[in-house]
Amino acid sequence: METGTSADIAERAARRFQTARRITEGTFGAASAGLGIGVGMNTAVLYTDGEIGLPLVGLLLVGLAAFTVLYMRLVRAGMQGRAPARELVLSALLAAALSLMLFENPMWIMVGPFWASVAALCLPGLRNLIAVCVGTSALLATYSVIAAWERAHWFMWPTMFLICMGICGLAVGGNMAQKWLWDVMQEVDAAREAQARLAVTEERLRFARDLHDLLGHNLSLIAVKSELAIRMTEADPARARAEMADVRQAARDALREVRAAVRGYRVVELDAELASVRAVLEAAGVRCTVPDDPGGLPEEIGGVLAWVVREGATNVLKHSEARRCDITLARYDGSVVLEMVNDGARPAAEGSGTGLTGLTERLAAVGGTLTAEHTGQGRFLLRAAVPLPEPSKSTDEPLRSVA
């Protein structure tokens, strides 16, 4: 069983997916190369025996090279779910022309099934498969009967047709089996990405639900009371003042609840917030390293740093295409320093966001500072420094990070 973070697993899955794609294309390429080598050697034998001339040899080699190129183009198109009409028509005409060499040697009968097998990749559906196999087999059976006219007659045509149908069926079946396996791998890879996106979406929905539950009632009450006060302003000023007093109280209650919620978030241990952020980032495909349990930090400072981690992770998801985010925590000269560094940062936009402004205010309340800057090569640094109430005995001793 594989171990490691979800980002590690996602990276391994992506590498396996690309490897599978290369192997699948390589298998088709190997089959095409096998056909080319076989008929190429047969061409050399025919030339050596004096059955064909040098101009025809050159023409056959050019035709085989062109057929191989078209074959691989159709393979890639079929794996992508496309059906390029021009390549299909050109390859069909070229296969029909090359199959005329069947008059010289029966081995050239394999060109037709090879074309049918790759055409089936681009033309899915039972009717298309049957049409491709029937058309190819009918042409090859006709060539075969004409080539052996002195030893065979037209009543042999059905037999040759059935033999060619069997060869085409095997070739088409082999390619379709590989295509089916490729489609399954694509679906598995898409499902993995969808699962990661779903995890991030669920976390965002949780944040939205908590905010709604916190403020929804009081804000609705404020809206209703305010509207009532407006209507009563002229008819009953005393009632309007009472309603506005209720609005003021509701606003104070909402503010108190928000502050209580903030205090509740602040008392959450920093290591719990680090673990939560790591899970969210890695669900989004971002490899994340976090420090060990810091321990010994005052509750207020730990809460502020937890907010920095949360806002930093939100910015990574919203404003970058990061593949990695490193979070470190260290003590220096009586201060604790938290740094978040991620890659894939987009160019800086004009103005500063409200999130960073709020973090600056939170840190200022405990005497801390915030630095947010692009450091080049698509990297972004978020740095928070907060003085500790008492000098730390472990000065300049960084806390370890774990993958």
* Other Cβ atoms closer than 10 A to 55: 8
Query: Which domain range does residue 338 map to?
Result: 270-402
The reply to whether 308 falls in a domain is yes
Per-residue pLDDT, 350: 57
The two structure tokens encoding residue 234: 């002229």
The reply to whether 84 falls in a domain is yes
**CATH assignment of the domain containing 279:** 3.30.565.10
| Shared domain check, 383 and 241 | no
The reply to whether 197 falls in a domain is no
- Please count the structural domains in the chain: 3
The reply to whether 95 falls in a domain is yes
| Shared domain check, 75 and 184 | yes
| Shared domain check, 282 and 222 | no
Q: Give the global pTM.
A: 0.50
Per-residue pLDDT, 153: 66
Per-residue pLDDT, 384: 94
Instruction: Tell me how far CA of residue 367 lies from CA of 105, 360, 388, 389, 390, in angstroms.
Output: 90, 10, 9, 10, 13
The reply to whether 171 falls in a domain is yes
Closest residue by Cα to residue 291 from 369, 381, 403, 392: 403
The reply to whether 157 falls in a domain is yes
The reply to whether 1 falls in a domain is no
Query: Which amino acid is present at 387?
Result: P
| Shared domain check, 276 and 254 | no
| Shared domain check, 120 and 233 | no
Per-residue pLDDT, 1: 43
| Shared domain check, 340 and 359 | yes
| Shared domain check, 157 and 52 | yes
| Shared domain check, 176 and 39 | yes
The two structure tokens encoding residue 189: 């890879």
The reply to whether 198 falls in a domain is no
Per-residue pLDDT, 328: 93
| Shared domain check, 306 and 260 | no
**CATH assignment of the domain containing 255:** 1.20.5
| Shared domain check, 226 and 178 | no
What is the full per-residue pLDDT of the chain (403 aa) written as tens digits?
Answer: 444 455 566 677 777 778 878 888 888 888 888 888 888 888 888 888 888 888 888 898 898 889 889 988 898 888 888 888 898 999 999 999 988 888 888 888 888 898 998 898 888 788 888 999 999 999 988 888 888 766 656 678 888 899 999 999 898 888 888 888 888 878 877 777 777 777 777 767 766 666 666 677 677 778 877 888 888 888 888 888 888 888 888 788 778 777 766 565 545 568 778 887 887 788 677 889 998 766 678 888 888 898 899 888 888 888 888 889 999 998 888 889 999 999 988 876 655 556 788 888 889 988 999 999 988 888 999 999 999 886 544 444 444 444 4
Domain end position, chosen among 192, 221, 247: 192
Per-residue pLDDT, 326: 93
Domain end position, chosen among 231, 266, 301: 266
The two structure tokens encoding residue 12: 């391994």
Radius of gyration of the chain (CA): 36
Rounded distance between C-alpha atoms, residue 116 and residue 114, angstroms: 5
| Shared domain check, 165 and 16 | yes
Spatial contact of 140 and 107, defined as CB atoms under 8 Å apart: no
* Other Cβ atoms closer than 10 A to 274: 24
Domain end position, chosen among 266, 287, 303: 266
Spatial contact of 85 and 123, defined as CB atoms under 8 Å apart: no
Q: What is the DSSP string of 13-34?
A: HHHHHHHHHHHHHHHHHHHHHH
Q: What are phi and psi of 297, to 5 degrees?
A: -80, 140
Per-residue pLDDT, 398: 46
Closest residue by Cα to residue 231 from 218, 244, 214, 245: 244
**β-bridge partners, 372:** 382
Spatial contact of 332 and 345, defined as CB atoms under 8 Å apart: no
Per-residue pLDDT, 199: 72
| Shared domain check, 253 and 374 | no
